[in-house]
C-alpha cells in the first residue's frame, strides 16, 4: 500500500474525505498537490501538513473551469515531471426537490460534479497515458446507482461519474492507467450533514451498520486503491454498504 515518493493530486482537499485523505497521505512521504476553492482552509491545511519528508503544494481553483484545471495540471507536470495518482473528492450536494429544481441548481451541480470530473481526468489522463502509468480514483456515490427524490441533480452527476470511471478505465487500460470509483456510503462529512440536517439520525438507523463512515476510514480505502495492492483493479465502483433499507 506504499505511496512513498508518489506525486498525488487531491481535489476537495480543504474538508471532508479530501482533507482526511491529504492528512493520511502526508504521513506516507508522498508529494501532494492539494486543490480546493476554499483558499483560506487550503492554506491552513498546507501549513499543517508540511514536514521534512514530504512536499505539499496547493492550487486554489474551481474544478468546473476547464482552463483553470488545465493550467494546474500543466504546472504540476512541469514541476514534478509526472503525476502518479489523482484523488478527485471535490463536489457539492444541495437538496432540491425534483419538480422545484431551478435551471441554476441543476447546472451548478452538474458543472462542478460531472464537468469537473471530466476536465480533471482528461488533463491528468494526458499525462498518465504519456508516462504509461497512473491511478485515478473518483468519489462517486450510491445515489448514482439508485437515484434520489430530493437530490436528482446530485444523483445524475454521480451516475455520470460512474459511467465516466468505466469509460476511462476502458480507454486508459492500454496505457497501464487504472481508474476506479469509491462509493463510501453514508459518511460523516460537513457536506453530508449539511445536506441532511433533519434526517441524519433517521438515515443512520437505516444503514446496515447503524453508523456513518468517518472521513478517515474512507481515506484508508483510498490509500489502498492508490498503492500497488490494487495494481490490477480498474473500472470498479468500490461500495461499502448495502442499499439503505436492504
Domain ranges of the chain: 7-238
pLDDT at 194: 63
180 has which bridge partners? Answer: 137
Q: By C-alpha distance, which of 180, 56, 66 is closest to 123?
A: 66
pLDDT at 76: 96
Cell readout for 20 is 482526511
Residue 209 backbone phi and psi in degrees, to 5: -95, -10
Residue in the structure block whose three cell numbers are 440536517: 197
Catalytic residues: 154
| Residues in the chain where the model's pLDDT stays below 70 | 1, 193-197, 242-246
For the whole prediction, is pTM greater than 0.75? yes
With H, G, I as helix, E, B as strand and everything else as coil, classify residue 192.
Answer: helix
Q: Does domain 7-238 have CATH number 3.40.50.2300?
A: no
CA geometry: angle 164, 155, 60, nearest 5 deg: 70
From residue 66, how far is each of 6, 52, 114, 239 by CA, in Å?
25, 33, 12, 29
pLDDT at 50: 83
pLDDT at 197: 67
155 half-sphere exposure, CB direction, 13 A CA radius: 14
pLDDT at 222: 96
pLDDT at 136: 98
pLDDT at 118: 98
Amino acid at each position: 500500500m506504499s505511496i512513498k515518493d508518489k506525486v498525488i493530486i487531491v481535489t476537495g482537499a480543504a474538508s471532508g474525505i479530501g482533507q482526511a485523505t491529504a492528512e493520511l497521505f502526508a504521513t506516507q512521504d508522498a508529494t501532494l498537490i492539494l486543490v480546493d476553492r476554499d483558499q483560506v482552509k487550503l492554506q491552513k491545511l498546507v501549513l499543517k501538513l508540511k514536514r521534512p519528508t514530504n512536499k505539499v503544494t496547493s492550487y486554489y481553483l474551481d474544478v468546473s473551469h476547464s482552463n483553470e484545471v488545465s493550467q494546474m495540471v500543466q504546472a504540476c507536470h512541469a514541476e514534478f515531471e509526472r503525476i502518479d495518482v489523482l484523488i478527485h473528492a471535490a463536489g457539492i450536494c444541495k437538496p432540491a426537490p425534483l419538480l422545484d429544481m431551478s435551471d441554476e441548481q441543476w447546472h451548478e451541480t452538474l458543472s462542478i460534479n460531472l464537468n469537473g470530473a471530466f476536465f480533471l481526468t482528461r488533463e491528468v489522463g494526458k499525462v498518465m497515458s504519456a508516462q504509461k502509468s497512473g491511478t485515478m480514483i473518483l468519489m462517486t456515490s450510491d445515489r448514482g446507482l439508485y437515484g434520489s427524490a430530493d437530490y436528482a441533480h446530485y444523483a445524475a452527476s454521480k451516475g455520470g461519474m460512474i459511467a465516466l470511471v468505466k469509460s476511462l478505465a476502458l480507454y486508459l487500460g492500454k496505457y497501464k492507467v487504472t481508474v476506479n470509483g469509491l462509493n463510501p456510503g453514508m459518511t460523516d462529512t460537513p457536506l453530508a450533514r449539511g445536506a441532511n440536517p433533519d434526517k441524519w439520525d433517521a438515515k443512520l438507523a437505516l444503514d446496515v451498520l447503524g453508523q456513518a463512515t468517518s472521513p478517515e476510514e474512507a481515506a484508508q480505502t483510498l490509500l489502498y486503491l492508490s498503492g500497488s495492492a490494487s495494481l490490477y483493479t480498474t473500472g470498479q465502483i468500490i461500495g461499502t454498504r448495502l442499499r439503505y433499507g436492504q
